[in-house]
Structure 1
Amino acid sequence: MNNNRQNKAALSGTTAFAFGRLWILLFLPLLLYQFYFLITEYQITLSAIYALIPFGLIIISSILIYIQKSIYFLIITQFVLLIFTGYYEFPLGIYMLIYSMTSILLLIIYNIYKQIDWTGYKNGMLLLYVTWGVFCLLEIANPNHVQEAWNISITHYAFYPILCAILVPIAIKKTNHIEWLLIIWSLFLIISATKGFWQKTYGFNQKEMNDLFELGKAKTHIIWSGVRYFSYFTDAANYGVHMAMGATTLAISFFHTNKIYLRILFFIAIVAALYGMGISGTRTAMAVPVGAIFLYIILSKNKNGFLIGILVLVSLLIFFRFTNIGQGNEYIRKMRSAFYATEDASYQVRVENREKIKALMTAKPFGYGIGLGGKAERFKPKELMPYPPDSWLVNVWTDTGIVGLALYLLIHIALFIWCSWILWFKISNKHLKGLLTAWLCTNAGYYLAAYGNDVMQYPNFIMIYTGFALCFAGVHIDKKLTEEEEENKKNIPIL
């Protein structure tokens, strides 16, 4: 009886395989002919789309099979789409939102047929950002509200933080899962630095030239001190800060991993990221390692980590503030100017603008409305903020008023304290703690940079929210590691 079933199953499998081959044999010539026709007709774009169909099918199949690992696909997708924006004009935010919503829908459908381990998604980060999300919903009642502006801005205000708070604990169950995130990030940093090198060595492509000279980007990127390169990013500030984030995270992680291949990859990516940070000419980027080292010192329980953190911080301060070493290099000179911010003309203009903004904001405790506190002319609101916010935190202030800014700061202070408490008291595994510390310290540096520049853009905020979510996921990872260690001890034979 069993043999008959096995024979039928084998026959069924053989038939299915033969049927699959038949479809391939039928459609492959048609696809090849269409591909040949498009090339001969010089339809290069359509030809490329056809050529990418197999890869697209592989990606879609992978998403369906590994839907529980959605956070990986989310991060990879944003990186890939960002690279495409360097050559083609398309709305990155809309594509990312569609992809994210589709992932959530597929996750729900998958859960109906096969139970997903939702352990960890009910966490402090979700609670805090849902609270913030409720406030953002109430901002719809703002008299100056424009729905289109709200729809665009709500993604990085509340949607992605909540999404990461749910997806990260579902996907990240082991320390090597965190390492895979770092590997993906490392590869993107290397690609982005290579693109920056290409811009510096061979010049800008047609789209970039259009952005510079038709859309006005040249005003802030081709200046008296030189050219500020921006790779695939929207601007040099976003590029420089992201490269600083990557270099900082990987530099700390480098000392908390024993795998040789990871150390080699991290080292290459760190060098590439530092190069990209340098050619961006972004002073604000210096805030990332400085803020990260400061938090690292606070989180260091052991004397060696504390002393190393102090030594690095003091060395940075002495090198950039009290010496002229490397002053002949335009990029070091630019970075050094960050330590003399009060003497910089652009900084003084920002301070003056903030005083003017402060005078206007006294009459607007709930701001101008989400998405309307900065460059909002295209939305045609009733009232416009006449001065540029120039930084993310000032943008939050102009969007949501002093009430919103106070709530935003309280939520993020609580988030940093909560995550630090987790690292201090809930994580015992040294390797895991080191990786989580690297990410949280980078977050601290990022928010310090967010005071100086509007860097809450792709792909920065998804990496930052992933970092917070990892700390909460780390509690469950550490628990499993502890249980495995105890189980291994029990299985050790007594001689």
Structure 2
Amino acid sequence: MVFSQISKIKTGAIKLESGLGVIFLAGFIFLATVMMVKIGLIAGFFLLGLPFVIGLLSFLWTDPKAGIWLSLIMGFLISGLSRYVVAPWGLTIDIFLFLSLLFTLINSSVKIDWKKAKNDITLFSLVWMAYLVFEIFNPHGNGLVAWFYAMRGIGFYQVLSVPMIYLFLREEKDFYTFLNILIILSLAGTAWGFKQQIFGVDAAEYRWLWDENHHEEHILHGVLRVFSFYSDAGQFGASQAMMALLTGILAVSPLPLLKRIFFGIAALIFFLGFAISGTRGALAVPLFGGIAYLITTKNFKVLGAGVSAMILVFVILKYTFLFQGVEQVRRMRTALDPNNRSLEVRLENQITFGKYLADKPFGGGVGTAGFWGARFNPDSLMANTATDSWFVKIWAETGFVGLLIHISFLGYVMGKGGAVCMGLKSPKQKSYAMAIYASIVGVIFSSYGNQVFGQMPTGMIMNLAIPFLFLIPHWPSKNK
């Protein structure tokens, strides 16, 4: 009975076999060809892409949470894609998140309990976004357009994604989907990085390095700092260090043996990816993330052994010349040199910002520093003074008030997250919670040296990882 009913349903392929379907398809291709000849390739390709767009919209309409996964995936890919095809790839994240929220609101067939989004993390995200909206009226800003582009990575993605995690992705299987996407795309990033390391960069990457003036920060003493398909070597290194920490913790956790072996191999691969990036600031990820993990174990023997290992690594890098023949080790060793010129320049820049912001408690305005500042007001002091640090960027653009709000949120996450980890009884839940928590803490502290927290893909990862951490205690009781 059921099969007979299914056989009567006309699928898209069956409909195309009809005479009317063939005529429609031929007419569509003919119209696309005419547009390509008369208007240009872009118009024709746009028309040919319409079926894909319609299919995607239909997919998101029936399953809005898919937009969150697509946003995470695009967070990994937008920088790499922009080197090959010039397009506003970053806006795809906005579009996917916005459509997910919009279709949730207007599609009556999507049943959700809005009360699940009422929590402290959502509230913090709303308060932070409200403050960023207030920054529109900052008299020192570069205008609404600059504000729009800059605020997306600072707070807009967070305020859209956090409540949707609580609404749609509360189940344990959703967390595993999140973890699998991170591991698969990060391994792809490692593989692409080794391709650059072994075979060199391709034509598009060469153009990005030399024609767009990124070679000074990525080619040091004739050695390439590998950047993979990430925005730069700093982001690649920090992301790989975070994944090495996360999978490394899971490898030593009380999980099934095959999983531990897989996570152990992945941790080694990610560590090698971190090493070839030559990123010094990313050392803070395993350092502070590792300390956070050791504290949450509440095992003083493990804590003592871990701290001793960290001290040993510090002594080797600081006071010896062991492994000095390895370029990546030499690069890391300079991070511990108090007379390092790079550190001196950063401190000088912070002094410059301090003088400029002395009478500006709300900062210079969102979109006035860094990339967007250089684009919209290239001659300004804000645009010509490197922020380097994520926290310096927040301070420069939103002032002491904004920095206080932002640090309060991150401090709350670290405090509550640590309490959640130590309060869990299930070994399985505790393992995943500590791995995610340590990764979050590592990224937060490494963001003092680089703009790790707000750059893609780490920014999108953090927007999802924080609510996922606080949902782990709500997994089914069978895991407790």
Structure-2 change in CA distance of 1:57 and 1:331 (3 Å):
farther
Deviation at 1:349, TM superposition (A): 1.4
SS at match of 1:288: helix
| 304-313 or 441-450, larger mean C-alpha shift | 304-313
Q: Distance in 2 between matches of 1:420 and 1:470?
A: 14
**1:460 aligned to which of 442, 458, 461:** 458
> Are positions 1:23 and 2:19 aligned together?
no
Match of 2:274 in 1: 277
CA contact (8 A) 1:288 1:449 kept: yes
Q: Contact 1:82 / 1:232 at 8 angstroms: preserved in 2? A: yes
Deviation at 1:337, TM superposition (A): 2.2
Change (3 A) 1:238 1:358: same
Contact residue 193 and residue 231 of structure 1 kept, 8 A: yes
Secondary structure class of the residue paired with 1:298: helix
> 1:263 matched to which residue of 2?
260
- Give the residue type in structure 1 aligned to 2:241: A
1:354 equivalenced with 2:350 (yes/no): yes
Change (3 A) 1:206 1:410: same
For residue 297 of structure 2, what is the aligned residue in structure 1? 300
CA distance in 2, matches of 1:305, 1:159: 40
Structure 2 match to 1:493:
none
Query: Where does 1:87-98 land on structure 2 (aligned, <5 Å)?
Result: 87-98=84-95
Which residue of the other structure, out of 109, 113, 119, is the alignment partner of 1:113? 109
Given that 1:244 and 1:288 are in contact with CA atoms closer than 8 Å, whether structure 2 keeps it comes out as yes
The one-letter code of the counterpart of 2:118 is K
For the residues of structure 1 that align with 2:436 and 2:409, how far apart are their CA atoms?
18
Q: CA deviation at 1:13?
A: 3.2
**Residue number in structure 2 paired with 1:201:** 198
Partner Cα separation in structure 2 for residue 431 and residue 284 of structure 1: 31
Distance in 1 (alpha carbons) for counterparts of 2:167 and 2:256: 25
* Amino acid of the structure 2 residue aligned with 1:140: I
SS in 2 for 1:16: coil
Instruction: Trace 1:207-356 onto structure 2 (pairs within 5 A).
Output: 207-224=204-221, 226-256=223-253, 258-303=255-300, 305-340=302-337, 342-356=338-352
More off after superposition, 112-121 vs 46-55: 46-55
Match of 1:150 in 2: 147
For structure 1, which segment, 410-419 or 45-54, has the greater mean C-alpha deviation from structure 2 after superposition?
A: 45-54
Say yes or no: does 1:177 pair with 2:184.
no
Deviates more, 1:383-392 or 1:64-73: 64-73
CA distance in 2, matches of 1:291, 1:366: 30
Q: Cα 1:190–1:159, aligned 2, differ >3 Å: closer, same or farther?
A: same
Q: CA RMSD in A?
A: 3.4
TM-score by length of 1: 0.84
Does residue 132 (structure 1) correspond to residue 128 (structure 2)? The answer is yes
1:250-305 deviation line (CA, Å, top 9, x unaligned): 11122336244533443343233222211211101111100101211222223454
Q: Provide closer, same or farther for how the CA distance between residues 14 and 271 of structure 1 changes in structure 2, counting only shifts above 3 A.
A: same
Q: In 2 relative to 1, CA 357–82 (structure 1 residues): closer, same or farther, beyond 3 Å?
A: closer
Q: 1:141 to 1:198 in 2, by over 3 A?
A: same
Distance between the aligned counterparts of 2:18 and 2:322, measured in 1?
Answer: 67
| Partner Cα distance (1:18, 1:214) in 2 | 50
How many angstroms apart in 1 are the aligned matches of 2:298 and 2:247? 20
Cα shift at 1:419: 2.1
Q: 1:328 to 1:52 in 2, by over 3 A?
A: farther
Q: Which amino acid in structure 2 is aligned with residue 113 of structure 1?
A: S
Q: Which residue of 1 aligns with 2:406?
A: 408
Give the letter for the 1:429 counterpart.
S
Deviation string for 1:172-208 (max 9, x for gaps)?
3343432322221111111111111111222222221
Query: In 2, are the aligned partners of 1:229 and 1:279 still within 8 Å (CA)?
Result: yes
Deviation, 1:336, is 2.4
What fraction of aligned residue pairs are identical, expressed as a percent? 25
Distance 1:175 1:318 in 2: 41
What residue number does 1:395 align with? 393
Counterpart contact for 1:120–1:476, Cα < 8 Å: no
Q: Which runs of 5+ in 2 are unaligned?
A: none
- Are the equivalent residues in 2 in contact too, given 1:118–1:169 (CA < 8 A)? no
Deviations 1:364-385 (A, max 9, x none): 2211101113341321389542
The structure-2 alpha-carbon separation of the partners of 1:22 and 1:361, relative to structure 1 and needing over 3 Å to count, comes to closer
Q: Is the 8 A contact 1:225 1:330 kept in 2?
A: no
Secondary structure at the aligned position of 1:67 is classed as: coil
Structure 2 residue corresponding to 1:192, chosen from 189, 194, 208: 189
Q: Structure 1 counterpart of 2:463, which letter?
A: Y
For residues 368 and 328 of structure 1, do their structure 2 counterparts lie closer, same or farther at Cα, with a shift above 3 Å needed? same
Q: Which residue pairs with 1:374 in the alignment?
A: 370
Between stretches 431-440 and 391-400, larger displacement belongs to 431-440
Shift in Å, 1:101: 0.7
SS in structure 1 at match of 2:8: helix
Runs of 5+ consecutive residues of structure 1 not aligned to the other structure: 1-5, 487-495
1:473 to 456, 471, 474: 471
Q: Quote the offset at 1:236 in angstroms.
A: 0.9
In the aligned structure 1, how far is the partner of 2:124 from the partner of 2:159? 9
Measured after TM superposition, the shift of residue 77 of structure 1 is: 3.4
CA distance 1:62–1:322, change in 2 (3 Å):
farther
Worse overlay, 452-461 or 203-212? 203-212
TM-score normalised by length of structure 2: 0.87
Deviation at 1:148, TM superposition (A): 1.1
Over residues 111-145 of structure 1, what are the superposed CA-to-partner deviations in whole Å (9 max), with x where a residue is unaligned? x2241245642221111121111211111111022
**Equivalent residue pairs, number:** 469
- Counterpart CA distance in 2 for 1:134 and 1:437 is 31
- How far residue 358 of structure 1 moved from its aligned partner, in angstroms, is 1.4
